[in-house]
Structure 1
């Protein structure tokens, strides 16, 4: 082996060791890691899920949301879900939309905050191309992360 080949092999070896370590670090830093998800609604084994943590010195709930379509049958190509905060029954700009999620995938985790006190509620929906479901709930219906 010449000097260039030894350096290339050495660099590849270092990269092979570092890449899995950085993947482990990244995976453990994901917002979804270790959360105790509450399933808000299911549609053909796709699950809209949320959990909450106290934030801003205990004055608000930070709500994490995701759509898990890993167990959805293949004949259901895609699903979508939303979660919107309402104040006195009026929708606010505090909302989350999963976007379309294909069979076998999980959406990105999204968050928004709502005050712990006052007339706040949540409206959720989950739907596919041909069916859907939805309803209202409160932050008290969602478990802590």
Structure 2
């Protein structure tokens, strides 16, 4: 079972001009991720740059060609708490194990500060109804692992 531990953004993260977080936060994160790696459950993890460096693709109604129209909206985006500042991806044997690891996640802002970390389970290909398209996804997954 794969889970994503999602660090929600905050005004402080969105205002950053360079990645220079509190050394205590970095130390706690390094220790935590080291523990995940030693336990063999860490798949990936990283921080994201502020939304002003990103963009969104907005899809609209289909045009005459039958395809959705698309347009780019550059950041920054409002409501930092609705944005993602970083993530950690883990693979564990149960929801309970994911909950246990996520409870140990260090405060991503700093101790005593208000912060939100959201945890979501990823879909596994085996959960979908078998189909030709699903087989294509399984083949792609196999390619990416080799």
Length-normalised TM-score, structure 1: 0.29
Q: Which has the higher contact order (CA 8 A, sep 6+)?
A: 2
More strand by share: 1
| Structure with bigger gyration radius | 1
Length-normalised TM-score, structure 2: 0.29
More helix by share: 2
